[in-house]
A = this chain, B = another copy of it.
Amino acid sequence: MNDGYSVGIVGATGAVGKELIRLLYERNFPIGNLRLLASARSKGKTITYEDHSFDVEEATPESFDDLDIALLSAGSGITKALAPEAARRGCVVVDNSSAFRMDEEVPLIIPEINPEAAKAHKGIIANPNCSTIVALMALYPMHKAFGLKRFFASTYQAVSGTGADAIVELDNQVKALVNDQPVEKEVYPHQIAFNVLPHVDVFLEDGYTKEEMKMLNEGRKIMGLPDLKVSCTCVRVPVYRAHCVSIQAEFEQPVEVAAARDAVSNFPGSELCDDVDNLQYPMPIDYSEKVNCGVGRIRKDSALENGLSLWVSGDQLWKGAALNAIQIAELLHERGWVSIKA
């Protein structure tokens, strides 16, 4: 008899943390006890969700002694310190940061794509990068149909991916500009309102950003395609919370648009939004607070032999972060890959 899991959320005060609380309840995850953990700075804060009220506790190694599942949405530094402590204490960690994603011992999971890989977890499971999740929710069903070889991606990423303070910054900048006031910048190095920044995460030696390399490295790991070629340019746009990705993809086998559409329609977690005659295509305002990612603009690519061009939109805070993490927890629960402490 399952009385429910003791679940902890680390980073509960952030943009993703809030969605984790909401979605745990909305999706009726079998919670016995929910505790909210954060940095010492947030200790003592009270967070309410509907008729639930929580005192935020400081996250320490001992916090995990009584927890079964911890959903982490914190910086890489804190995560690297806390996740192994949690795992050692028998608490399964689903981690939203990039800290462990490329660790060979750590499964990197999109439940619709590689659920079986989660079985081998050693206490830590990584939640993939948001843009990568959204792109793969479109590409994976097509990969199953035609065999993915290479893809080119340009992203249109919402400010929610940077965090709650970035959402406030866009809001403040827009209000300042509407009222002819000077624009203040704290989160981004440049104005984000009415602008686009070809810059997400930090720059690497070769001129790519870390974010751009996630699409390549995480894409290969999640889909089990070590030779996949990926070229990505990540761009921040003045949108609040859903990401979009423009993709040109090359496949092993000849492609058909109708078959690609069918593949998307039949893939759980994705939906076809592709009726250009009626001006229907995925847009961030329509895919905010949506469980499914929307895939559209599917057409034969004009520069690739077996190629498709496409466009996908998905909620960065949901499928790109909190929802996927909870779906991993649901997977662990359903398959019996996590247990309730005695």
Contacts and interface: CB of A to CB of B under 8 A. Distances in A.
Interface of A: 150-152, 154, 156, 174-175, 178, 189-191, 194-199, 203, 206-208, 216, 229-233, 235, 237-240, 244, 246, 248, 257, 276-277, 279, 281-285, 296-304, 307, 309, 311
Contact of A303 (B189, B231, B240, B281): B231
B206 A285 contact: no
B196 A156 contact: yes
Contact of A237 (B156, B175, B178, B304): B156
B208 A299 contact: yes
Nearest to A257: B207
A246 B238 CA distance: 17
Given A194-B285, A198-B296, A284-B196, A276 B239 contact: no
A240 B193 CA distance: 10
Given A154-B246, A239-B195, A304 B203 contact: no
A130 to B, nearest CB: 16
B198 A246 contact: yes
B174 A229 contact: no
21 contacts: A151-B303, A152-B152, A154-B154, A156-B235, A175-B178, A189-B279, A190-B279, A190-B283, A191-B285, A195-B239, A198-B244, A198-B246, A198-B311, A203-B276, A206-B300, A207-B276, A208-B299, A230-B303, A231-B303, A231-B309, A233-B309
